Amino acid sequence: MLAAVLAIVGCALLGGGVQLVLLGGSIYYVPAGLAVLASALFSWRGDRRAIWAYVIMLAASMAWSLWECGLDLWGLQARLAAPAVLGFWVCWPALRARPLCSMAGTLLICAAAWFAIAKTYQGERFPFPSRLAAASVGPPDPTASASRWLNYGNDPGGSRYSTASLITPANVDRLQLAWTAHTGDMGPALGFEATPLMVDDTLYLCSPTNIIMALDADTGKARWVFDPHSRLPPTRTCRGVAYYKAPGADGQCAERILFATVDARLMAVDALDGRPCRDFGQNGAIDLWRGMGRAQLGYYLVTSAPTIVDGNVIVGGWVADGQYVGEPSGVVRAYGAATGRFAWAWDMDRPHEHGEPSPGRSYSRGTANSWAPMSGDETLHLVFLPTGNSTPDYWGAHRSAASETYGSSVVALDSRTGELRWSFQTTHHDLWDYDVASQPTLVDLPIGGAVVPALIQPTKRGQVFVLDRRNGHPLTPVRELPAPQRPSPGDFLAPTQPFSTGMPAFDDTRLSEAGMWGATPLDQLWCRIKFRQARYDGPLTPPGLGPTVTYPSYAGGINWGGVSIDPVRRLMTVNWNRLGNYTRLVPRAEADAMGIVPSNDGGAHVGSPVAQKGTPFALSTGPFLSPLAMPCTPPPFGRIAVVDLDTRRLLWSRPLGTTGYSGPFGLPLRVPLPIGVPNSGGSIMTRSGLTFIAASQDRKIRAFDSLTGKILWQAPLPAGGNATPMTYVTAASKRQYLVIAAGGNAILRSGSSDTIMAFALPSTRHAE
């Protein structure tokens, strides 16, 4: 049996090694395969030279591994862990004869592994300035702002910062589950991504199918439930709702909850009893299909919470990726929050037309859209839109001039009129699905001796841009650097791309064959071959007729979870993914032969080809994974860090999440190795110096010390907390709660649940 196993491994190493050498790759696998085959032959004969052949191969592998990846823990694991385990079987006759030596060697290996894992889990910490070292919590904040969470990101600028400070670094380890609630909505959604609002001791949230719930903030018991009976497309996501109190109003719907649905309606219900506000639109609803022209259910919907600025409720929309040229418009519209009356529209192809289209016309089709959370500044009368690109995503010669200008950008509009005030593009002629997925985050920063109203825009590229929100001018250095060229036939590329050189990059990894990863040397070899077969010219390698590697992937970098900011200490928490895509453009004739046609319902393209009808090519793209369904790009696959916004340097950085619920073929290892796992969701920061985040694939919520990165508390969740948490203090109990939607995510395989969970300090000692 041993000889058979060694023969299979040796043949795989030798065959794959020869293929890799022919592609110009490492020669290591050829002699390694020969050595393993020699060990197999000796084993078959019962010859103890099998041990020597294998030990020599193992020693040479260790030397090669140290030369190729140094002391990188996960690089060494990929190259040596599986061969070492197999080596115990090969060497068992010798080890059995010397049990004390074998035990000592095993303990030494375990101790070295434990030390390396502990060092990796701790991450990197850097000295922080004296102003932060002297930072203190102070007394608990009794103001109303500590007790509320009025917007998706708490404040209109999306800081995700709370002045609530009853939970501190000193007592956070005593957090315990206070209550749970269930939405009853367990459909095949991409995820339960809602961040609740908290107003007057009531939580307001939405399920993936837009069931709206009002919960008692102290107990989680439902006060009312409203079901809009949405028609359900494949994409079912609702990240939040909006709250509006009309100035001077009283009676029915003086306070209202506004939300949009997955079948494209904008609705308003009374915040007190959940009844539709009949004075809003038509009996409480506005049909967002109006002016969109021909469109199918599932091709246009609203996933993010509406944004309210200057009395207008403003919505963009998600548009299906990659299906055909001329998909629904990316128009952004505003309606009176009190009446539902149409206020304005921003149709980028018709920049001076802010009204609704006349009968028989529609908003411009196929324009770049804005699906991510927006933010607003009522002092400047601006609403800030993060934009995607014009579909299809990976071939762009057909795009309009306006989509070329405003796609993959942050755009500032006058919140009262819809007039364009400024825009800043984060990726030129985007062919990588690098739509701006993160909410623009507003913060005032001391720069050049003055306090400047700033906007921080994270991106899927891992670039974070700091702009003056009055005019869009960069406040930290941005350079246009040369980008890879050689576009696909009929398309073109921007000669340069913007890089935020004045801020840390999340991240600036440049892939290589030696950097390919795998759970074992065999799937690492497979990844190295696939990498050598593909084109990779560094960041922003364009898609082509042959396979290409894109890093970061379309999942980011930084996705819709965005960043959180402590405006007092001027700190920013960032969580991001470190994954790649494997992409190929499929010629139209080949696509037609394969039967690749546009989706009937706008279904998401995760690993399956999409038509891109109307262009010369269909598209095949998806995560760059090994045959074991493990990433080919190196760990950690997810990280979290805090940046000092004064010095623009990292305070600390560490892997986010463990392998508890992941492993080969998607099977959970149940061994919490600190490898850092993919994440989806955001963080919050508090006045007491805490950063809370779930987001990771491993179904936990954690509290970090914002200054040091030390994990101070963590708790298990029934499914991934792939949302952004929130916190508040109730007037009735004076307790501070931490709330997370633990619904899981189908793409991350982080389970599925309909659970809202609230954590608090023990009720008898909550104020200590």
pLDDT in tens, 303-360: 999 999 999 999 999 999 999 999 999 999 999 999 999 999 999 999 899 999 988 8
What pLDDT, on the 0 to 100 scale, is given for residue 124? 81
Active site residue 433: yes
| Res 439: pLDDT | 98
Q: How far apart are CA 129 and CA 644, in angstroms?
A: 9
Catalytic pick among 201, 263, 433, 644: 433
**444-493 per-position pLDDT tens digit:** 999 988 999 999 999 999 999 999 999 999 999 999 999 999 999 999 99
Phi, psi for 702 (deg, rounded to 5): -130, 155
3-state secondary structure of 122: helix
Per-residue model confidence as pLDDT tens digits over 553-585: 999 999 999 999 999 999 999 999 999 999 999
Strands 683-686 and 161-162: parallel
Q: Is the pLDDT of residue 109 over 80?
A: no
SS (H, E, C) 182-217: ECCCCCCCCECCCCCEEECCEEEEECCCCCEEEEEC
| Of 605, 638, 612, 609, nearest in space to 747 by CA | 605
Quick check: helix, strand or coil at residue 29? Answer: helix
Whether a cis peptide bond, with omega within 30° of 0, leads into 373 is no
Taking residue 743's Cβ as centre, other Cβ atoms within 10 Å add up to: 30
Q: What is the predicted pLDDT for the residue at 605?
A: 63
Tokens 């010390």, residue? Answer: 705
Pick from 96-110, 321-335, 619-633: least confident: 96-110
pLDDT of 617 > 90? The answer is yes
191 Cβ contact list (under 8 Å, min separation 6):
208, 237, 680, 720, 722, 723, 743, 744, 745, 746, 747
Contact (CB, 8 A) for 750 and 149: no
Helix boundaries (H) for 387-450: 401-406
Q: Is the pLDDT of residue 600 over 70?
A: yes
| Distance in angstroms (rounded) separating the CA atoms of residues 319 and 334 | 18
The pLDDT of 505-509, averaged and rounded, is: 90
Give the DSSP H or E segment for 680. Answer: none
List the one residue out of 439, 435, 477, 476 whose CA is nearest residue 454. 476
pLDDT at 108: 63
The whole-number pLDDT of residue 141 equals 72
- For the record, the structure tokens of 90 come out as 């090969």
What is the band of 503 on the pLDDT scale with cuts at 50, 70, 90? very high
pLDDT band at 294 (very low <50, low <70, confident <90, very high): confident
How does pLDDT run across 645-682, given as a tens digit for each residue? Answer: 999 999 999 999 999 888 888 888 888 889 999 999 99
pLDDT at 139: 72
Please give the share of the chain, as a percent, with pLDDT higher than 70: 93
Task: Give the 3-state secondary structure of residue 459.
Answer: coil
Compute the average pLDDT of residues 724-733. Answer: 96
> Quick one: pLDDT band at residue 766, thresholds 50, 70, 90?
very low
CA distances from 616 to 157, 540, 588, 592 (A): 41, 21, 5, 11
Query: Within 13 Å, how many C-alpha atoms sit on residue 98's CB side?
Result: 9
Q: What is the DSSP letter of 666?
A: G
Dist. CA 675–CA 99, nearest whole Å: 32
Percent of the chain's residues with pLDDT above 90:
81
Nearest to 335 by CA among 363, 308, 313, 356: 313
Residue 666: per-residue pLDDT: 82
Largest Cα span, the chain: 93
Would you list the DSSP string of 287-304? Answer: ETTTT--S--TTSEE--S
Enumerate the β-bridge partners of residue 125.
652
In this prediction, residue 767 carries a pLDDT of 41
Q: Pull the structure tokens for residue 456.
A: 């921080």
Tell me 79's DSSP state.
I
- What pLDDT score was predicted for residue 765? 46
Give per-residue pLDDT as tens, 217-258: 999 999 999 999 999 888 889 999 999 998 888 889 999 999
DSSP 638-658: EEEEEEETTTTEEEEEEE---
What count of other Cβ atoms lies within 10 Å of the Cβ of residue 350?
17
DSSP letter, residue 77:
I
Rounded to whole angstroms, the Cα distance separating 457 from 425 reads 11
Tens of pLDDT, residue by residue over 46-101, are 888 999 999 999 999 999 999 999 989 899 999 999 999 998 888 888 776 666 65
Alpha carbons 518 and 512: distance in angstroms, whole number = 14
Q: How many CB atoms lie within 10 A of CB 525?
A: 26
pLDDT attached to residue 552: 96
What's the confidence (pLDDT) of residue 105?
60
| Average per-residue pLDDT for the chain | 92
Residue 469 in contact with residue 377, Cβ under 8 Å?
Answer: yes
